[in-house]
Amino acid sequence: MSRRVVVLSAALSESSTTTMLGERLAAASVRASSEELEVVTIELRDYFAEIAQAFGSFAPERLREVFEQVAAADGVIALTPIYNTSYSGLFKSFFDVLPEDSLRGTPVLIGATGGTPRHSLALDYAVRPMLSYLKAEVLTTTVFAATEDWGTAADDVRPLPERIELA
């Protein structure tokens, strides 16, 4: 029996580094697992309208199906670009309308992308507390990728592929 990992990406474009980070984290999870893993990737940008609609009324069926996939997951990889020192509005809005207890006890790996390494602080002061409030089992290790990480690594920072494998 395979286990299911849901990758939730708040990337705003198909060619986003947030999407690329999610793909790499999912692939590393498959390689590291002793069990067969099924990976389901959900691009939240495809649900903009449904997420907005859920604030004013009931969630549309299409969004409820996403909620069910998240609630049934054995693990979640949650990814957001960092804007103005915090998670994106799309990322936050999704978790605002996610039914209570959907993440209770679920292991969640958080990852993010941003322009500079300084943005990595947002993982611990914004993303982690929100997911902890939702009763997720947020993993200690996080993965942040700055623009420069997609090229060469700075002398004092582990290269991105190594950080992904460690997570």
Each residue of 26-65: pLDDT tens digit? 999 999 988 899 999 999 999 999 999 999 989 999 999 9
Determine the Cα–Cα distance for residues 166 and 155; give it in Å rounded to an integer.
18
Average pLDDT, the chain: 92
Determine the Cα–Cα distance for residues 115 and 151; give it in Å rounded to an integer.
13
For residue 132, the Cα-to-chain-centroid distance in whole angstroms is 14
Domain that holds residue 39: 3-166
Could you tell me the pTM of the whole model? 0.90
Q: Considering only 88-92, 96-100, 139-143, 154-158, which range has the smallest mean pLDDT?
A: 154-158
Residue 149: band (very low, low, confident or very high) from pLDDT cuts 50, 70, 90: confident
| Number of domains composing the chain | 1
- For the chain, give the percent of residues with pLDDT over 90: 78
CATH code assigned at 113: 3.40.50.360
